Amino acid sequence: MAGEQALKAIAISDDHWTFWMATEVAVREGKRVECAELLARRFAEVADHPQYLGMNFMSELVKITLGGHMSGNWHFLREPGGQEKANALRDEWLKVIHHHADALRAGRLLVMGQDIVTTNLVPPGVSYEPPRK
């Protein structure tokens, strides 16, 4: 029940603190895959948000699938073709999430560079830092 409510909050919230906490609840309640799919979709949906809200959705997506974090220049979202780039990133992430759904459901993090988890998941001008061991 709490996992479903958390997913609903992620689906409608434009408040970073709300969807950050909702992501925590969704993952804890076994909804990692559904949450990851939703975060990927929301990233593309809000790509042109004036507060770079898409960056926050992408950060949460990376945290629950790869660990580590992304940093860099997110201005590509405002450039001509930014929405198309955001849509392509969404599609690439959804492909990876679906392909690795069993591993994600089991609580395993994916590893950049293994299988279909490639740098295509990293936006232009942004770098990915893997989790520290």
Q: For the chain, what percent of residues have pLDDT higher than 90? A: 59
* Residue 130 or 72, more confident: 130
Mean pLDDT confidence for 81-89: 89
Confidence at residue 50, expressed as pLDDT on a 0 to 100 scale: 67
d(CA 26, CA 67): 16
The residues near 67 (Cβ < 8 Å, ≥ 6 apart) are 109, 130, 131
Q: Is the pLDDT of residue 51 over 80?
A: no
Q: Report the pLDDT averaged over residues 107-122.
A: 92
Q: Find the range with the poorest average confidence among 10-14, 63-67, 72-76, 113-117.
A: 72-76
d(CA 127, CA 72): 6
- 39 in Cβ contact with 61 (< 8 Å): yes
Say what the pTM is.
0.92
Q: What is the pLDDT of residues 9-28, one digit of tens each?
A: 999 998 888 989 999 999 99
- Assess whether pLDDT exceeds 70 at residue 1: yes
122 pLDDT above the threshold of 90: no
Q: Helix, strand or coil for residue 27?
A: helix
Residue 133 has pLDDT above 80, yes or no: no
> Among residues of the chain, what percentage have pLDDT more than 70?
98
Quick count: other Cβ atoms within 10 Å of Cβ 121? 22
